[in-house]
Structure 1
């Protein structure tokens, strides 16, 4: 007789799930046993067990991001369930469909302060769009289906709690009795299109604009062709949010990459000069980098209605899927005859690329230039490569130097910006696309958190991958560098070594201990050869890149506050004072030289003064 666990596993498969990420424990033991039976009987679900439940949830989130499918993670009761939280918040804040199946102690223990019994419904109430404990076999079908339907329709995580005794109860087919729900595996359609009159109003606003800018986020994934066609007709410049980087190919000349602290100067100029801004599938959170109130007419398109109109006082908010909405909008757009706006944007972007290249050539006494490391990595990315980045300075270098061509993918923990996500993201991407080259870029602080452990997971499952090439680039500077710079620039505080120092570890040696290739990179001269060796190796390679911690993650525009706080931090006795001054000066001089060259190339001044 099949059990409730057997039924749930089969139901999950009916929802199109083939792979789950789990960690065992007695609270989920009967369900785990059913997973094992299913695997022995007919292949069941591919069960991936990393080294920690937090990794399970981050992998499920990454799977959803890279595939568009529902990610599923599984954990035991209280301790395992609690460990899922960070990864589930990553799914919540980046709007990803994830279903967590969590064990619980037996029904009789609930509310009695028993071993590993806690109020899991209360624990998950904030992170999940739907949380429900299955208390009877008759309830299982509807609860599982609601969890999947809600995750898909709401783009949010959901949680199903399975008490241990319920897991082993006999499965029951729901009947037509009172109080019993009969459900289905049909998901709600997500291709929502706004009303015709709203689409016509959007076309009217865009057609009237002379300097139109599209700000494109990850919510436009799958709508690349529609975004490009609408931008062509509107004569629009394109900016991508960091998580929308792979939506628009990097070779589009008027795509100026990102906006904000890790963005480009052409993106900042677009924002300061545009008269119309169209936000497509983005919840871009930095309002100080959006147009001034009243400067631009605004349109926002998003499948999540709560995101509409909360970042900029938009004139029109369209609740809809980006692809479906643009498909309806494009026939109403008039092709711009004057493309001067686009052409100026493209010219400025060419200048910015020269500036980024010049920044990679700056040399530092304290290690390799981290910009050069990521630039040389970018130069060697093969077709369809997948690149993950971690929170911290790796996100800065990802934004400034990684250029994703059509077919490539790239992602990171966005609004949550949790450390260590780059490794589980990369491993999940490799499981989803085992024929592709996957590259993880991660700081040494994040790598020490749980990232090092995941090389063990890679070793465990490596033989399942069609293409063995998996490259990890550890930015080794013995410092939590992003926070060190934030302490200086945001609060005027000097570096506090007690909080910021990262114990130096031979990361390449750790990779070699596991049977992988380890490459140690100490200076700029060895960067190219290290990258060549890594990409030539059909296996796992860890590049231990000893880089300078004093390279400033320069924003495209240095504010007075940024400069004042940094100076204040140095005057207060920053232990890296001399190196920071020397290395920052080198970077700033290079920046100014390139901007002067750009100004001369463009004919001197622009609307915002000298470049």
Structure 2
């Protein structure tokens, strides 16, 4: 029996090191699925993980890439299966991680005939993909796989390969040694990228001249943690973290100010407002209002992606290079600052901030303070735990109340800030590291949107993992809470019941119905014990906590404009006005008038 094109396609993926594909079947991709099945029978195939929805497959591929640094791979049929991939692929694109998407397509012989599930997918994927191509002949497959995988890895982006159904089933024909054919090969080695010595010296001169140096790190600084600490110690600097860089440095370092931005900490905000020098490393942090005012600080930026240089702040020196390699080259040029007053003040601010966080977390609420959910979780996690967060108000508590330890990993949908990513990210983490405990922090809106269905995926596969520890913690407040607070504080409008009310669902009971463990908590005093029970259970757990929607996710500093908008929303008849005012108004005005009660 001759080798089919789909068999060669799978063999070529294996040659590139692909061992796992997240996807959902359909007739447009059945040829590839059959090839995976045949390869698996030979004992050296690719693991296929069946998800509940193609969007989740793309998120899992992105999660795999975020946690491992390797290529993530997802698969769908053509038509609607392919379009479902888009959201997860955009997450990979904007967070700069390598993902390969494989899509089926209507038969090549029917293209252009408005055939069933026929879409111009190369156009559909054109914006999200660094490389997208639809195969037209078996001889193309070799170079399409080679080029697509190489581009995804080298550019930390998305590649999409579209395979018409009939071409998958055609006999494999290698490219001929003739005009009109090309002969590609596998393999890619990431180069050492370091700026010129002259540019490093200019950067060092700026950093050495600074008296109040602030460092901002993102996901691009992962792998450079040692070098970042060395630079901070030499310069007497503080280090703030963009959300995607939350796990690059542990939060127990006294000069680490924590997250930055709307979900960030006051020490990070104050450091940026007062610094005279800024060093940004591997971060595309978007909110420039949380960076120094233009002209306030001299700035240096390091990034492996030149398109991100000088994008957020007018730097004097832009260093195109790998974070660790560039910092290693920069370190011998930096001078040790004897004056430690700036860094010591940062450490005092950080210590005071953690006390504020504890007070906020332990404050009474109705019934459970959502901040306390994460505050109680944090010290109970193992040193190798992995935590994912969804978008929404739970991301605030992930950003602030989760104190990352050395060796722990964490991520979320960063640039896209998409709802529904936490559970697929957690599943991908568990497949990549089956012996490590994983926790997903999820709001009830995201849970209802698509994460409940992926509990079925967990039920399908968990018994094959080395350890069963996977906890999905659901913040059940019956509210699309982040948007509610945006309506109040940014727009000055009361909560809009029609758009914000979420049906009350007993997620813990749904978990029990699936054969998982469900735990329900509506008493804050039970939180610690519930977390301990969940983290030591003999199967995956849904920990459902009835949280208070009126606990405000306060930004690090409240502006007078925001306070006025907030009070206007209360006056206009907000549902929870009395409780909200009692819980948060004093905090808001204390921000504006320090020392006033």
- TM-score by length of structure 1 reads 0.95
State the secondary structure of the residue aligned to 2:405: coil
For 1:536 and 1:102, the matched residues in 2 are separated by 40
Whether 2:325 is the aligned partner of 1:355: answer no
* 1:538 Cα offset (Å): 3.2
Residues 488/57 of structure 1: CA separation in 2 closer, same or farther (3 Å cut) = same
Match of 1:370 in 2: 370
Alignment of 1:202-351 (within 5 A): 202-351=203-352
Whether 2:42 is the aligned partner of 1:41: answer yes
For 1:423 and 1:482, the matched residues in 2 are separated by 19
* 1:589 Cα offset (Å): 8.6
State the secondary structure of the residue aligned to 2:474: strand
Kept in 2: contact 1:280–1:322 (CA 8 A): yes
Aligned Cα root-mean-square deviation (Å): 1.6
Kept in 2: contact 1:61–1:90 (CA 8 A): yes
Match of 1:459 in 2: 459
State the secondary structure of the residue aligned to 2:256: coil
Deviations 1:470-521 (A, max 9, x none): 1111000000000000011111111111110000011110011111221111
For 1:149 and 1:202, the matched residues in 2 are separated by 32
Match of 1:404 in 2: 404
Match of 2:549 in 1: 549
Kept in 1: contact 2:563–2:588 (CA 8 A): no
* 1:587 Cα offset (Å): 5.4
Kept in 2: contact 1:551–1:587 (CA 8 A): no
* 1:189 Cα offset (Å): 2.1
Deviations 1:427-473 (A, max 9, x none): 10000000000000000010011101111001100112101111111
For 1:267 and 1:251, the matched residues in 2 are separated by 15
* 1:579 Cα offset (Å): 2.0
* 1:413 Cα offset (Å): 0.1
Kept in 2: contact 1:69–1:97 (CA 8 A): yes
Kept in 2: contact 1:21–1:49 (CA 8 A): yes
Match of 1:176 in 2: 177
Kept in 1: contact 2:558–2:592 (CA 8 A): no
Match of 1:434 in 2: 434
Match of 2:561 in 1: 561
Match of 1:73 in 2: 74
Kept in 1: contact 2:241–2:260 (CA 8 A): yes
State the secondary structure of the residue aligned to 2:490: helix
Kept in 2: contact 1:30–1:167 (CA 8 A): yes
For 2:324 and 2:176, the matched residues in 1 are separated by 40
For 1:172 and 1:332, the matched residues in 2 are separated by 56
Kept in 2: contact 1:149–1:188 (CA 8 A): no
* 1:544 Cα offset (Å): 0.8
Kept in 2: contact 1:153–1:190 (CA 8 A): no
* 1:523 Cα offset (Å): 2.0
Whether 2:496 is the aligned partner of 1:485: answer no
Residues 321/261 of structure 1: CA separation in 2 closer, same or farther (3 Å cut) = same
Residues matched between the structures, number: 596
For 1:122 and 1:154, the matched residues in 2 are separated by 20
For 1:327 and 1:517, the matched residues in 2 are separated by 48
* 1:297 Cα offset (Å): 0.6
Alignment of 1:564-575 (within 5 A): 564-575=564-575
Please identify runs of 4+ aligned residues in structure 1 that moved more than 4 A: 586-593
Match of 2:422 in 1: 422
Deviations 1:150-199 (A, max 9, x none): 11111111100000111111222324321211111121524311112111
Match of 2:93 in 1: 92
Match of 2:540 in 1: 540
Match of 2:393 in 1: 393
Kept in 1: contact 2:64–2:70 (CA 8 A): yes
* 1:384 Cα offset (Å): 0.6
